[in-house]
Amino acid sequence: MKPETYLELFNQSNWEDVSRLIEHIAPQDVELALHNKGAGGLQDFAALISPIASKNYLEEMAILSNRLTEQRFGKAIRLFAPLYLSNECNNVCDYCGFSLGNKIPRKTLTPVEIIKEAGSLRKKGFEHILLVTGESAQVVDISYLKDALTILNPYFSNLSIEVQPLKQNEYEILIENGLHSVFVYQETYNRESYAEHHLKGKKRNFDWRIQTTDRLGCAKIKKIGLGCLYGLTKDWRTDAYFAAHHLSYLEKRYWQTSYSMSFPRLRPCKGETDPATVLEDRDLVQLLCAFRILSHELELSISTRESATLRENLLPLGVTTLSAGSKTNPGGYAVEEKSLEQFEISDDRSPKEIFDLLQNKGYDPVWKDWDHAYNLTERGNNPLSRKEKVIRTTVLT
């Protein structure tokens, strides 16, 4: 029987079987995967993330990944910034600075503070903003998120969220109010490791979280962002395989939605846990290339978690999206709030420095690749109301 949701498909898989498959890849399997340029799907992906590929085929993977990226995306690199709305959280997760168990000052931005943060980011050139919160449905509920989108719509062309998983009808409400994308990382696809690191709160519910993407697909979201938090689970290759497994299901089931993949590695934070494994820079290169070869249309994002030098070196290997000048605490841009950061960033260069760097290296830094007019035209409305035009003009000047 055909699975109705990704959870059903996932439950048919076995973690140990996948681990053995990856471990026993032969050189000819990697060579075939490179020849196929991703056409072999997950079998090829398993070969490309294998230890044998890392040892002997990384250069060939990098060359192919570069070529496929430039064929699809040219030299364009989209820039975005996270805007942290709240660090309130009801979960106890041993790798996150916002965890309920951490005795830190809690902060949720007011409408006036949201506007101040928006003004600061807009003046820096940003058109794409990712709204981030801890997971506290009592404080940051659907009403708060809807209001935040309404406030920010006049300022930006593209609004995404990374918040607690919501119900399908709640996503539909936010989409109607200007939401473009949702980023929902499973963190790890290993059930035992997931339970070990998520100790309390609704996030502890593995099944509820992994089904979020199906609710998003049914709600007809324009883009879904996936990823693992590398370092939580010892066998990072198998985690990456299941992220690809998840992606492949979604691309076939909800083909009108676009997708992105991120590769966050554990960074220092208050109450931090020791990584179960360390994803080396070479491993990150392998992952980037493998995902690009698997999915030529996939957006690949590298955040300011990574160092300036590494981010520059990764650019030719498939990266299409970069954050810049990031602050990971509510009010970090303009409100001058001293609330705790979710994690420490590594690349602290300004958006202008990143923009200039990209241009100097021959890339085309993109501030805007979407407009509200596309959303409104789909709903049969006028592209921009006179009121919205006035607000936007005021903000930009």
Q: Which pLDDT band, with edges at 50, 70 and 90, does 97 fall under?
A: confident
Q: For residue range 49-62, list pLDDT tens digits in order.
A: 999 999 999 999 99
Domain-wise residue ranges, the chain: 76-287+324-396
Q: For residue range 12-70, list pLDDT tens digits in order.
A: 999 999 999 999 999 999 999 999 998 999 999 999 999 999 999 999 999 999 999 99
| pLDDT value of position 342 | 52
Return all residues near 379 (Cβ < 8 A) that are at least 6 apart: none
Q: Which pLDDT band, with edges at 50, 70 and 90, does 341 fall under?
A: low
Distant-in-sequence contacts of 213-216, Cβ < 8 A, 24+ apart:
213/6, 213/184, 213/246, 213/250, 214/5, 214/6, 214/7, 214/253, 215/165, 215/166, 215/167, 215/168, 215/171, 216/168, 216/171, 216/182, 216/184, 216/254, 216/257
Give yes or no for a contact between 41 and 264, defined as CB atoms under 8 angstroms apart.
Answer: no
| pLDDT value of position 335 | 80
Nearest one of 238, 315, 239, 231 to 273, comparing CA atoms: 231
Per-residue pLDDT, averaged over 231-254, amounts to 97
Tokens 């398993």: give the residue: 46
pLDDT at 396 over 90: no
CATH tag for 76-287+324-396 (out of 1.10.3720.10, 3.90.1170.50, 3.20.20.70, 3.40.50.300): 3.20.20.70
Share above pLDDT 90 across residues of the chain, in percent, rounded to a whole number: 79
Give yes or no for a contact between 201 and 92, defined as CB atoms under 8 angstroms apart.
Answer: yes
Per-residue pLDDT, averaged over 289-300, amounts to 98
Q: Which residues, listed in sequence order, are joined to residue 182 by a DSSP beta bridge? A: 161, 224
Answer with the residue of higher pLDDT: 212 or 138.
212
Nearest one of 86, 151, 117, 139 to 336, comparing CA atoms: 117
Residue 257 Cα to chain centre, angstroms: 15
Round the average pLDDT of the chain to a whole number and report it.
90
Question: Rounded to whole angstroms, how far apart are CA atoms 92 and 79?
Answer: 31
Q: For residue range 194-242, list pLDDT tens digits in order.
A: 999 999 999 999 999 999 999 999 999 999 999 999 999 999 999 999 9
pLDDT at 393 over 50: no
| pLDDT value of position 271 | 53
| pLDDT value of position 397 | 32
pLDDT at 372 over 50: yes
